[in-house]
Amino acid sequence: MERPHYHGHRTRLRERFLKSGLAGFAEHEVIELLLTLAIPRADVKPPAKALLKRFGSLRGVLDAPLSELRSVAGVGEVAAIALHIIRESATLYLQETSIYRECDLRTLCQAEGTINEIGDSEALAA
């Protein structure tokens, strides 16, 4: 019996990711990789490409309303919620990173004498 063309595809995606992060991934492959976290034992390429076609980009997919994600063939309730969890987690991560970067910048500016007090935001803007 011949194996389906997608046999081992998830493993190959994960191995590529472990080797070099998302560098070299096509946008639909990034979405495929995300969908593997929520869709067990199914070919995730068709829903990934359908999502990309419908919403235009990875950002469009992650910003899409749950109801619209659910309406895409192959994307059910769990996958739609998973995509929202991924987006919200990334948002929290970036917010924390920005806050820490801003604090580090303020500390550096204080040490260099660029600003006198932590609240001296006018000096930062200049």
Tokens representing 12 are: 């190959």
Fold of domain 9-125: DNA polymerase; domain 1 (1.10.150)
What per-residue confidence (pLDDT) applies to 120? 46
The overall average pLDDT reported for the chain is 85
The CA distance from 59 to 75, in Å, is: 17
**pLDDT > 80? residue 104:** no
Residue 21: φ, ψ to 5°: 65, -145
Q: What is the pLDDT of residues 67-77, one digit of tens each?
A: 999 999 999 99
38, amino acid identity: A
- Tell me the percentage of the chain whose pLDDT exceeds 70: 75
- Tens digits of per-residue pLDDT, 45-97? 999 999 999 999 999 999 999 999 999 999 999 999 999 999 999 999 888 87
Tokens of 25: 């991934």
